[in-house]
Amino acid sequence: MAQVSPSSALCKTVQQLIENGDELPDRYIWSGPIDLNVPLASDIPVIDVAHLSSSATELLRLRSALTSWGCFQAVKHGIDASFLDEVRRLSTEFFHLPITEKQKCARQGDDYEGYGTDLVLFNNQSLDWNDRLYLQVAPDHHHKLHYWPLNPQSFRKVLHDYTAKLRQLEEQLLKAMEKSLSLAEGSFLSKFGDEQSMFARFNYYPPCSKPDQVLGLKPHADGSAMTIVLQDRDVLGLQILKDSQWYWVPTLPDALLVNAGDHLEIMSNGIYRSPVHRAVTNSERERNSLAVFCSPDPEKEIEPVEELVDEERPRMFKTVRNYVQTYFHYYQQGKRPIDAVRI
Ligand SMILES: O=C(O)CCC(=O)C(=O)O
Ligand SMILES: [Fe+2]
């Protein structure tokens, strides 16, 4: 596919297409089938985070979740349900502001951060039915505050507090993941470095007249180490692929969905899987989600932990560095970056 510079092809947001009453542009039509009539993944494990440090059973359940689905629903994660609702409310409020207001945070030049629509990197790439606000939230000195909304007024403060809470949760979960594989403490965490990054992606999926032909987000696995997703309270939209079958991911209003990302698959030498997932659209209802991608310092070298490599399970991945940077190029072509680093 011929590559284009992201800045040369900024298009109308999906919301603008709808407001203008435009015909659905062909570029949004997905080439493959989109099955909306798939089973509910009702057995994705619900993990009690508060018990992970003391309960061997809960650790086993975590291990089983990450080897089978590559994700779990985290409950008792230490974040109040009312605070989660506040984060959802501010996110919806932002996307409902007039376009002139949202454009104050618009992506500039060939930056990936800011408010905008799907990135156009290739001429024939199909587009996602998704407007988003993408912000680096950690480390603090990487904040590009000109992209951070001042409206709604409490947006910045709430995002800051939410990030701090997720950071604690991430650490707790990484420790539990190490333990669940009988690894020494720090086997994963020490690889992240002081400059470990977190990016927040506020996803807004307006209703779409052709949900059987248009995707909210193309199939992908996340390039992070783990992604913590605050799903819409009640609108289903996320599907996950397991053994070549798509499933709906249930919504549990007070839970956070934790997805393993490619870095975790690499560090665990393929024991934990970074699941392929996609977002579909809904003809009646809009949907919001907030995905926070937690990744190691991009300058750190990441590779399979030695203890997980042996004759029976030879090393499966090369050493990677700056992995997230190449991510979008693969994503927009419908390819998986992890396939490029497989041995
Ligand atoms: O909308 C969702 O629930 C998932 C979003 C997602 O997969 C992503 O932003 O990478
Ligand atoms: Fe994702």
pLDDT (tens digit, 9 = 90+) per residue, 157-202? 999 999 999 999 999 999 999 999 999 999 999 999 989 999 999 9
Q: If you average pLDDT over residues 126-148, what whole number do you get?
A: 95
| C-alpha–C-alpha distance, residues 340 and 317, integer Å | 9
Q: Among 214-223, 235-244, 260-269, 330-339, where is mean pLDDT lowest?
A: 330-339
| C-alpha–C-alpha distance, residues 281 and 178, integer Å | 36
Q: What predicted TM-score, i.e. pTM, was given to this entire model? A: 0.95
Using the predicted structure, report yes or no on whether residue 18 has a pLDDT greater than 60.
yes
| C-alpha–C-alpha distance, residues 134 and 148, integer Å | 9
Query: Amino acid identity of 165?
Result: K
pLDDT at 145: 97
Query: Amino acid identity of 82?
Result: S
pLDDT at 7: 42
Tell me the chain's radius of gyration from C-alpha atoms.
19
Query: Amino acid identity of 264?
Result: L
**Ligand 1, pocket residues at CB < 6 Å:** 201, 203, 217, 222, 229, 231, 237-238, 277, 279, 289, 291
Distance 257 CA to ligand 2 centre (A): 11
| C-alpha–C-alpha distance, residues 334 and 343, integer Å | 21
pLDDT at 325: 77
Using the predicted structure, report yes or no on whether residue 334 has a pLDDT greater than 80.
no
Q: Among 284-288, 302-306, 335-339, where is mean pLDDT lowest?
A: 335-339
Share of the chain above pLDDT 70, in %: 95
Distance 217 CA to ligand 1 centre (A): 7
DSSP annotation string for 98-140:
-HHHHGGGB--TT-S-EEES----BTTPPPPS-EEEEEEEESG
Closest ligand 1 atom to Cα of 232? 3
Closest ligand 1 atom to Cα of 249? 3
pLDDT at 332: 67
304 — pLDDT class (breaks 50, 70, 90):
very high
pLDDT at 5: 45
Using the predicted structure, report yes or no on whether residue 238 has a pLDDT greater than 50.
yes
Q: Which strands make up the sheet holding 256-260, listed edge to edge?
A: 46-48, 71-75, 256-260, 226-230, 287-295, 197-205, 131-138, 114-116
Q: What CATH number belongs to 6-341?
A: 2.60.120.330
Q: What is the predicted ipTM?
A: 0.99
Share of the chain above pLDDT 90, in %: 79
Closest ligand 1 atom to Cα of 231? 3
Q: If you average pLDDT over residues 206-234, what whole number do you get?
A: 94
- Per-residue pLDDT tens digits for 74-127: 999 999 999 999 999 999 999 999 999 999 999 998 888 999 987 766 666 788
pLDDT at 186: 95
Average pLDDT, the chain: 92
pLDDT at 1: 47
pLDDT at 194: 87
